[in-house]
């Protein structure tokens, strides 16, 4: 499994390096909207959404567009400085946009999996994070309709990563002390050089 994840990470990095100028420009423009480490919104708990209206639908569309342009597979509203309990994700490029509003876990498996994760808000960072392999989440969609998602593997990991964001928790809080120290150094170097993130296996 570790070898497979490493190959996935390397393949993602290679695709990022081969971006055509227009795609790279869209990615850079999208990333300018994403709050980075040190912004207080990333350490704050988001507020529940009570009004489901056109403004919320527009917010969902904007988040999906920015996530896609940034070449991410998940995005939480707090990463844009919006304190709403709202996340979007798309693990499969051909899948519909996943939208979870006011998400709550109904189940987390005892079976765990460790995988490298990155974050659009932590440039240059990739750390190993252990998470439950299977989850069930109850939420609402942008119309207010109830949604239940049963997810496994990468989809479950992305959902957990984004819900962490809504609670002010970062992947730095879920990794070892040594990896956290290395990540902080890598992030300082990436931000000083204004480089895009290194696109680990999961970047959300």
Q: How many CB atoms lie within 10 A of CB 182?
A: 15
Q: How many CB atoms lie within 10 A of CB 201?
A: 23
CA–CA separation, 192 vs 148, rounded Å? 42
CA–CA separation, 201 vs 96, rounded Å? 21
DSSP-derived letter for residue 34 is: S
CA–CA separation, 76 vs 74, rounded Å? 7
Task: Tell me the CB-side half-sphere exposure of residue 59, using CA atoms within 13 A.
Answer: 26
**Is 59 one of the annotated active-site residues of the chain?**
no
Return the CA Rg of the chain.
16
Strand partners, 134: 152
Catalytic residue among 59, 113, 117, 162: 162
Q: How many CB atoms lie within 10 A of CB 168?
A: 15
Enzyme catalytic residues: 162
């Amino acid at each position: 499994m570790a070898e497979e994840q490493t190959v996935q990470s390397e393949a993602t990095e290679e695709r990022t390096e081969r971006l055509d100028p227009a795609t790279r420009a869209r990615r850079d423009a999208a990333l300018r909207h994403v709050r980075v480490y040190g912004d207080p919104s990333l350490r704050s708990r988001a507020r529940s959404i009570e009004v489901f209206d056109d403004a919320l639908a527009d917010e969902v569309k904007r988040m999906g567009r920015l996530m896609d342009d940034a070449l991410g597979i998940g995005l939480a509203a707090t990463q844009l400085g919006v304190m709403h309990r709202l996340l979007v994700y798309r693990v499969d490029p051909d899948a519909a946009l996943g939208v979870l509003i006011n998400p709550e876990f109904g189940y987390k498996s005892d079976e765990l999996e460790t995988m490298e994760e990155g974050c659009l808000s932590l440039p240059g960072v990739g750390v190993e994070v252990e998470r439950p392999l299977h989850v069930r989440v109850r939420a609402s969609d942008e119309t207010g309709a109830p949604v239940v998602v049963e997810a496994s593997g990468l989809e479950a990991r992305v959902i957990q990563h984004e819900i962490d964001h809504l609670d002010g928790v970062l992947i730095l809080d879920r990794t070892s002390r040594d990896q956290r120290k290395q990540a902080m150094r890598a992030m300082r170097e990436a931000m000083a050089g204004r480089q895009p993130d290194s696109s680990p296996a999961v970047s959300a």
